[in-house]
Each structure stands twice: as C-alpha cells, then as structure tokens.
Amino acid sequence: MNEIEKLKEIIKSSKRIVFFGGAGVSTESGIPDFRSKDGLYNQKYDYNPEEILSHSFFIDNPEYFYKFYFDKMIYQDIKPNECHKYLAKLEQDNKLLCVITQNIDNLHELAGSKRVIHLHGEVMKNHCMNCNAFYSLDELPRDGVPKCKCGGIIKPDVVLYEEPLKEEDVEMAIEEISKADTLIIGGTSLSVYPAASYVNFFKGDNLIVINRDIIGSVKANLQINASISEVFAKLKD
C-alpha cells in the first residue's frame, strides 16, 4: 500500500480529525512564507521584517508598518488550493473537528471551512485601539495609517512579535487536539513556538505529517514529504 492509499484508509477510519497547518498550506496558493530562500526574511527592506512586524514598531512607526503590511502581507486575489478544499469537504462530512492554522489569511474560510482556529490572528479583522470598533479589511484605506471615526488608530487582529497568542485560541486548539483520533500536520516545520508545542497534547491513534521537508521532531505514523495540495488532490481520486 502506497502513502496516499494508507492516508486514505486512515481518513476513512477516523471520526475526529484535526488539521494543524502552517505557511506551506498558503504558499501553494501563492502567498510567500517568511523563512524560505524566497521568503520575506530574505528580502531587503529598510528594517528587518521581524522588527517591522513587532508591537513596538507598530506603535512607534505605524505608517511604515502599514506600508509594509499592505505591500507584503495582504493578498486578496488568491484562491484556496486543493488542501483547503479537501479539508472543507471533510468538515462537511463530519469527519473534521476543526482546522488550526498559523496563517493569517482566510483561505480556509473561502474554501468553506466553518471551524477554523487562527492562532496568529487574521487579516480580515481589525479593531480600533481606542474604542474597539470593528473594521473589515475592505474598509481600511491603503494609504497612510487607518484611523477610526473616533480618531484612534486601527490595528489588524494579527499577533505581532512581542505579543502573546490569545488565550482563548490556545485553549481551544489544545482542547481540539486532545480530542482528536487523527492529527494531520501540514505545511509546517513545527519550528514556531509556542504553537508547535500544542502537538504534544495529541493522544489519538494516527499522527500524520505532510510537508515538503522531513520533520524529525515528531514520531508520525505516516510522513509524506511532498506538495500538500498535490497530496490532497490525489485523495479525491
């Protein structure tokens, strides 16, 4: 039995699947990651990207932050790939408990997923730092610093460097992982903490890894080193 057939059998026999995804899920839709040779961290800017995407930089230099943010972090014309679509179908079939993602785009939702935990926040949601009024991404102007009607600065609901993850999201992620009988880890090297440590709460039978590079930090029942969208496309065959 080859890897794809084995994965099909595991999914077929599973009743409580959780998918834990990273940047590799979105890169195959055209969103660049941070750490690869073509990623944001290896491009040249006036400041280090990690510094630009920090809480203190946002407070001290919001205009430059937003220039970088809209130029390099917002991709509104992208489409869900086969991974997003297959996971949405699994949820519709009541086999997938939820998607836990480290990505800040809304591709899972665009594909039809309803139960998505965004550990690092999401670009579609924004709030005024003064009155907490909500603003959608489409309501934000693309020049200068977005301001609320009250005059306060609007901040994206994304977790910046120096900021903690939202406790409620962490608790939900750990709870869902601990309930799963199958955990599929996809498109992540499990190098970003604390999110990567949540895998340790898995108590189920099948731990699956789908990633281009080998991940040696987890003992998986099945590890497939290939394009994640191509793997999920083959599951439909």
Classified as helix, coil or strand, 170 is: helix
The list of the chain residues with pLDDT below 70 reads 1, 33-45, 237
Q: How far from the centroid of its chain's Cα atoms is residue 115's Cα?
A: 13
pLDDT confidence of residue 133: 98
Per-residue tokens: 54: 């920090």
Residue 233 parent element (H or E) = helix 228-235
Classified as helix, coil or strand, 20 is: strand
pLDDT confidence of residue 219: 84
pLDDT confidence of residue 67: 94
pLDDT confidence of residue 91: 98
Could you read off the pLDDT of 66-101 as tens digits, one per residue?
Answer: 999 998 889 888 999 999 999 999 999 999 999 999
pLDDT confidence of residue 3: 94
pLDDT confidence of residue 121: 97
Full-prediction pTM beyond 0.75?
A: yes
Spell out the SS3 assignment of 170-206.
HHHHHHHHHHCCEEEEECCCCCCCCHHHHHHHCCCCE
Residue 43 parent element (H or E) = none
Q: How far is CA 10 from CA 14, 125, 147, 208, in A?
A: 6, 35, 50, 9
pLDDT confidence of residue 196: 77
The DSSP secondary-structure symbol of 165 reads P
- Distance (Å, rounded) from C-alpha 146 to C-alpha 155? 8
108 annotated active-site = no
- Distance (Å, rounded) from C-alpha 49 to C-alpha 104? 16
- Distance (Å, rounded) from C-alpha 141 to C-alpha 51? 23
Q: What is the DSSP string of 84-153?
A: HHHHHHHHHTT-EEEEEES--S-HHHHHT---EEETTEEEEEEEETTT--EEEGGGS-SSS--B-TTSPB
Per-residue tokens: 67: 């220039």
Q: Which of 84, 108, 118, 120 is catalytic?
A: 120
pLDDT confidence of residue 42: 55
Q: How far is CA 237 from CA 13, 29, 143, 180, in A?
A: 17, 21, 46, 25
